[in-house]
Amino acid sequence: MSPGLTLEGAGSYASHDDDDDDDDDELDFEQHGQARRQRPEVAFVSLVDGKYTVRGRLLLRAPAAEVYQLLTDYAGCHRVFSNIAASQVVAGPDGGKQVEQLCIWKFLAFSGTFKVQLGVVEDDAARTLLFNLVHSNFMSDFEGRWAVAPAPAPQAAPPGEQWCEVQHTLSVVPAVQVPAPVAYYTRSIFVKQVEGILLDLQRGLPRWRAERS
């Protein structure tokens, strides 16, 4: 999806936050203490006409071109993003590229899967991606944006390392209207969702790289 979406309730992605000391080891980029851990910065942007928009950013110790290549590996994204069970590329009616995914949803003690079909627009020169909803019974509107750009390395990084900044913006209108009393809780779900996607990217990049070597 973006590449992926779930409506995840309280406790979702708990493995990223359960024990901060353990996290420091697990989330280290290469898991060998070679780079300072970078946490995603995620913020709720707006709620307009039922559309929730959340934006996140993350610094990664990797070339921008490599991260963009991972994000456009639609057939393999289920091996990186934990909320995608399966993914494939298909041709749209106009010949454009579309992505069909089987996504995972979780809410409290409940879970399941749903199918989604997304149109995708790639700008290889700018390293940006735009996903928009073609069909889903789970959402009435969806837009996911990715942007990857080279970034200065943190002060603690060794000289010569390549770093990049990844920005991800998620805009969703759920298929079922969210009652006003739980709107704040719902927006926290989407904030957690974007954080989880970025953490999956951080963790999954070394595995994805190793599989291709």
| Cis peptide bond upstream of 3, omega within 30 | yes
3-state helix, strand, coil in the chain (%, to 5): 25, 40, 35
Tokens 């759920």 identify what position?
A: 174
What is the pLDDT, as a whole number, of residue 183?
Answer: 76
In terms of Cβ atoms closer than 10 Å to its own Cβ (0-12, 13-18, 19+), residue 106 is middle
> What's the pLDDT score for residue 129?
97
Residue 33's domain comprises 14-212
**143 φψ region: left (φ > 0), alpha (ψ -120 to 50), beta (else):** beta
Give yes or no for a contact between 13 and 192, defined as CB atoms under 8 angstroms apart: yes
Residue type present at position 83: N
Residue 9 placed within a domain: no
Nearest to 201 by CA among 87, 99, 106, 70: 70
The answer to the question of residue 1 being in a domain is: no
Evaluate whether residue 4 is within a structural domain.
no
What pLDDT is recorded for position 9? 38
Residue 55 domain-assigned (yes or no): yes
Residue 5 lies in a domain: no
Is residue 2, in this structure, part of any structural domain at all? no
Q: What are phi and psi of 50, to 5 degrees?
A: 80, 0
Domain count of the fold of the chain? 1
**Alpha-carbon distances of 82 from 4, 12, 77, 104, 153, rounded to whole Å:** 9, 11, 9, 8, 28
Digit-by-digit pLDDT tens for the chain (213 residues) are 545 444 443 333 333 344 444 444 444 444 444 345 689 999 999 999 989 999 999 999 999 999 999 999 999 999 999 999 999 999 888 888 999 999 887 765 556 788 889 999 999 999 999 999 998 777 888 999 999 999 999 888 888 899 999 999 999 998 778 787 777 888 888 999 999 999 999 999 999 999 987
What is the DSSP track for 66-120?
HHHHHHT-GGGGGGT-TTEEEEEEEE-TTS-EEEEEEEEEEETTEEEEEEEEEEE
Contact 177, 61 (CB under 8 A): no
Is 26 a member of any domain?
yes
Provide the CATH number for the domain around residue 76.
3.30.530.20
Question: Is residue 6 in a domain?
Answer: no
